[in-house]
Amino acid sequence: MFGLIPFFRSTIGKKVLMAVSGFFLFAFCVEHVTGALLFLRGPDAINGYGRLLHYSAALIWFFRAGLLTSAVVHVTFATLLYFQEFGARPVGYQNRRYLRSSYAARTMKYSGPFLLGFVIFHLAHLTWGYNVVPGPFIEGDIYANMLNGFRTGWVALVYLGAVSLLGLHLLHGAHSMFESLGLRHRRIESLLFGFARVATVVISVGLALAPAAVFFRIIGG
> Do 126 and 142 meet the contact criterion of CB atoms below 8 Å apart?
yes
Concatenated DSSP letters of 31-70: HHHHHHHHHHT-HHHHHHHHHHHTS-HHHHHHHHHHHHHH
Q: Which of ligand HEM, other proteins, none has residue 78 at its interface (CB below 5 to 8 Å by kind)?
A: ligand HEM
Q: Which of ligand HEM, other proteins, none has residue 190 at its interface (CB below 5 to 8 Å by kind)?
A: none
| Footprint on residues 56-95 left by other proteins (CB under 8 A) | 81, 84-85, 87-95
Q: Which of 33, 133, 146, 176 touches ligand HEM (CB under 6 A)? A: 176
Regarding 122 and contact with ligand HEM (CB under 6 A), the answer is: no
State how far the Cα of 84 lies from the Cα of 66, in Å rounded to an integer. 27
Q: Which of 33, 38, 74, 151 touches ligand HEM (CB under 6 A)? A: 74
Name the DSSP class of 100: S
Q: Which of 33, 46, 73, 78 touches ligand HEM (CB under 6 A)? A: 78
Q: What angle, 0 to 180 degrees and rounded to 10, lies between the N-to-C axes of helices 153-180 and 11-40?
A: 140
x/- binding map, residues 167-196, to other proteins, per CB under 8 A? -----x--xx--xxxxxxxx----------
State how far the Cα of 139 lies from the Cα of 141, in Å rounded to an integer. 6
In the complex, the smallest distance separating the C-beta of residue 12 from other proteins, rounded to whole angstroms, is 5
